[in-house]
Structure 1
């Protein structure tokens, strides 16, 4: 992610400083970095897809955690009563 920010930080001043008469220079600058930006885009897309895929499992675990904790507390109470 920091690499993407670095590229954007590097590109934005150059692109915004270019006037309409220097549009071909802007196009060359963008084209020169297009491969790097496409690779970062693919990396981000892959990470987002993995996160979306993992989301249902994470939600299920989050929902199950309180139920599991309540079950454990119940078992602990039963164990405590049995030891009394």
Structure 2
């Protein structure tokens, strides 16, 4: 099985403190979340964590968009 970086590592490439883009804002906020599952790749586990522990994420649709970007990058 090929190496796949964690979702968190991918998400950190999307940070931009000056952006109003939802995924960039999610990345900016996730960076400050000390409990974020930094090694996780699994959608369900990440989704469950965010639903229960991420008040900084206004909509799970933003996570879905970011996770799809992650999958697209990992498939290249």
TM-score above 0.5, yes or no: no
Give me the TM-score of the superposition, normalised by structure 1. 0.29
Higher relative helix content: 1
Give me the TM-score of the superposition, normalised by structure 2. 0.31
When Rg is computed on C-alpha atoms for both structures, the one with the higher figure is: 1
